[in-house]
Amino acid sequence: MVTLKNIAHRVGVSVNTVTKALNGKPRVSEQLRKEIIETARSMGYSPNRSAKALSRKEIKIGVIYPKNPAEYYSYIQNGLTNGINELVDYKISGVFMPVSDIESGDEMREALMKMSDKNINGLILSPGVNYHQYYDAIKSIANVGIPIVCLTIDIEKEDRIGCVGLNGKVAGQMAAQLIQMCADISRPCAVLACSKEILSQKQCIEGFVSAAETRGIDILGIYETQDEKQIAYLLVKKLLNKFPNLGSIYVCSYNSVAVCNMLEEKGMNNEIFVVGQDIYKELAEKIHNGSLNATLFQNPYMQARSAVVMMYEYLAENKLPKGDVLITPTVVIESNLNSFMHDY
């Protein structure tokens, strides 16, 4: 959604000046008024939205998300915060309740219970892998008619109006193509996943396996790490000892660093082709030193903003989501790495 603040920033004037120009108020030159109006039109600004907002009560969107692992959820936090802040003109506010990490079951339950007392109109929820630990608290919110939009990890469809996440099937297919193009496929490949039960991970695995079959890639197996770096580290050590001919590894979760650490320790950081997921400072260093050959950036910032838009359109414009929003990842290699190493 384009706001008055966005237009003001584009033109280089104050929000007050934009308001005067769009509403025909004096003390704005005709030339500047014309520029502001044309800019607003080109950006797709809808004055009708603002008019509707003035005539209705404030909409409160509850937001619950984990702060850790920060390598991933810092993007989520920024996307959620900026997305809601940009809707201030439309009488949208956020009630933020972050929890310490992705598997803080007790904190999640407490946040959900507190959110029930905040008179929210909708909830954006980024649950953990083991969300069934507090699923009764999620259902209690859904059962009183508060719409839920899931972010990154999905829950049962009957209790949410939509979900925004990674297009896992495409991510898996992209990883398989990268390995076929760049690795020695006469040597087998191992797949490391957080959990086979998580929908997004399951989709990554399915996409990779189906593409691997058509591209002649031999898969040793699918190995679960529970997104624990130590588990991933020891697992790769075991694989290297058991399968000295290992040629490639696809890590469809954020902890590729542990995999790279083991390869470096073994002096094999240029011998095995590794495709990871996400991008952050530690991973960037692994790309530079060659232990990580490519990573698939899920754009969690865009995912978070898309979740805000989905909830806004449902609450303010009565638009039921046409379907889930699946973000196609971007391949990041050393040559385009700097384009992704910035803070939002």
User: Coil, strand or helix: which one is 222?
Assistant: strand
What average pLDDT is seen over the chain? 91
The Cα–Cα gap between 306 and 82 comes to: 11
- Phi, psi (rounded to 5 degrees) for 249: -135, 135
C-alpha gyration radius of the chain: 23
CATH 3.40.50.2300 for domain 59-165+300-327, yes or no, is yes
DSSP-derived letter for residue 244 is: T
Q: Which H or E run contains 273?
A: strand 273-277
User: Coil, strand or helix: which one is 119?
Assistant: coil
Same-fold call for 4-45 versus 168-297: no
Q: Which H or E run contains 300?
A: helix 300-317
Residue 55: which pLDDT band, with cuts at 50, 70 and 90?
Answer: low
For the residues 74-88, what does the mean pLDDT come to? Answer: 92
Higher per-residue confidence, 140 vs 71: 140
For the residues 295-301, what does the mean pLDDT come to? Answer: 95
Distant-in-sequence contacts of 18-26, Cβ < 8 A, 24+ apart: 22/47
Q: Which of 175, 203, 166, 172 is nearest to 328 (CA)?
A: 166
The fraction of the chain above a pLDDT of 90, given in percent, is 72
Q: Is the pLDDT of residue 316 over 80?
A: yes
Q: Starting at the earlier edge strand, list the strands of the sheet with 122-125.
A: 92-96, 59-64, 122-125, 148-151, 162-166, 325-327
Q: Which of 1, 42, 39 is nearest to 18 (CA)?
A: 39
Domain boundaries, the chain: 4-45, 59-165+300-327, 168-297
Higher per-residue confidence, 226 vs 189: 189
Q: Is the pLDDT of residue 58 over 60?
A: yes
At residue 310, the pLDDT reads: 96
The Cα–Cα gap between 259 and 263 comes to: 6
Residues ≥6 apart with Cβ < 8 Å to 43: 2, 6, 7, 10
CATH 3.50.50.60 for domain 168-297, yes or no, is no
In this structure, what is the dihedral angle of CA atoms 196, 198, 201, 202, given to the nearest 10 degrees? 60
Q: Is the pLDDT of residue 87 over 90?
A: no
238-284 per-position pLDDT tens digit:
999 999 999 999 999 888 999 999 999 999 988 999 999 999 999 99
Higher per-residue confidence, 163 vs 194: 163
Q: Which H or E run contains 205?
A: helix 199-214
At residue 315, the pLDDT reads: 92
Neighbours of 342 (CB within 10 A): 6
Neighbours of 9 (CB within 10 A): 12
Bridge-based pairing of strands 248-251 and 330-332 is unpaired
Residue 23: which pLDDT band, with cuts at 50, 70 and 90?
Answer: confident
Q: What is the CATH number of domain 4-45?
A: 1.10.260.40
